[in-house]
């Protein structure tokens, strides 16, 4: 119905006047007549509840399924758990995995991937071992003590003469 007449219809409080307004408007307005005509045509073409009523009731089949609820519920459960992950979430997850894979392949030399190797190098006994072949104190051979921190980054060398009692 035309907007102006819709507003008028809303404005008029008495039903009798409302129906007169509608009848007069629809008799004269070709646009509204066409609207009604098209809706009538659609009603004839579309499936309406009246057409379906002749088809018989769905209840016997529904009842049968309702009395075997375990199957139905388990089926629904599977469906729901699968549907909780939406398509776009799958796509995003695959995309992220791909990005991580590509980065890890392309930037193999990044420090983040080499950290563990470096630590191993630090720990390697051959490269960090401190060897003192000989030591002298006042032209006499002396005792040598080597202390190293656990990560072998710091070494303390202590030398003392053979006859000394303390450091």
Partner 1 sequence: MEEKEIISHCLKGDVESFEMLVKKYESNVLSLCWNVLKNKQEAEDVAQEAFIQAYFNLNRYDMRRSFKNWLYSIAYNRCLDRIKKEKSFFKFLKNVIREKKLSFDEENKEKRIEDSEMFSQLLNELNEKERTAVTLKVNEGYSAKEIAEVLNCAESTARVHLFNAKRKLKKMLEEMDV
Is residue 47 a contact residue for partner 1 (CB under 8 A)? yes
Min separation Cβ 83 and partner 1, Å: 9
How many angstroms separate the Cα of 68 from the Cα of each of 77, 81, 91?
A: 15, 21, 37
Is residue 115 a contact residue for partner 1 (CB under 8 A)? no
> Could you tell me where the DSSP H helices lie in 54-110?
59-66, 69-83, 87-106
Query: What are 74's two structure tokens?
Result: 């388990």
Is residue 62 a contact residue for partner 1 (CB under 8 A)? yes
Min separation Cβ 29 and partner 1, Å: 16
Question: According to CB under 8 A, which one of 6, 20, 24, 69 is a site residue for partner 1?
Answer: 69
Cβ closer to partner 1: 22 or 142? 22
Is residue 6 a contact residue for partner 1 (CB under 8 A)? no
Q: Residues 6 or more apart from 127 whose CB is under 8 A from it?
A: 121
Is residue 14 a contact residue for partner 1 (CB under 8 A)? no
Residue with tokens 């991937």: 113
Question: According to CB under 8 A, which one of 49, 111, 125, 167 is a site residue for partner 1?
Answer: 49
Cβ closer to partner 1: 71 or 108? 71
Q: What is the CA radius of gyration of the chain?
A: 46
Question: According to CB under 8 A, which one of 42, 92, 103, 157 is a site residue for partner 1?
Answer: 42
Query: What are 97's two structure tokens?
Result: 């995995």
Is residue 19 a contact residue for partner 1 (CB under 8 A)? no
Is residue 70 a contact residue for partner 1 (CB under 8 A)? no
CA atoms within 13 A on the CB side of 130: 13
The CB density around residue 25, as the number of other CB atoms within 10 Å, is 18
| Segments of the chain assigned E as strands | 136-137, 140-148, 155-161
Q: Which residues bind partner 1 (CB under 8 A)?
A: 38-39, 41-43, 45-53, 55, 57-59, 61-63, 65-67, 69, 72-73, 76
């Amino acid at each position: 119905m035309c907007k102006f007449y819709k507003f008028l219809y809303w404005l008029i409080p008495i039903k009798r006047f409302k129906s007169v307004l509608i009848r007069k408007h629809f008799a004269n307005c070709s646009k509204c007549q066409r609207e009604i005509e098209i809706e009538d045509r659609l009603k004839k073409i579309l499936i309406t509840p009246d057409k379906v009523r002749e088809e018989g009731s769905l209840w016997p089949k529904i009842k049968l399924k309702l009395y075997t609820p375990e199957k139905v519920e388990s089926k629904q459960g599977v469906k729901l758990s699968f549907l909780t992950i939406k398509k776009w979430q799958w796509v995003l997850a695959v995309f992220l995995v791909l990005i991580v894979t590509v980065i890890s392949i392309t930037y193999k030399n990044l420090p983040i991937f080499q950290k563990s190797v470096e630590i191993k190098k630090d720990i390697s006994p051959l490269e960090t071992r401190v060897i003192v072949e000989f030591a002298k104190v006042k032209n006499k051979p002396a005792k040598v003590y080597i202390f190293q921190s656990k990560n072998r980054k710091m070494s303390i060398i202590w030398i003392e003469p053979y006859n000394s009692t303390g450091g």
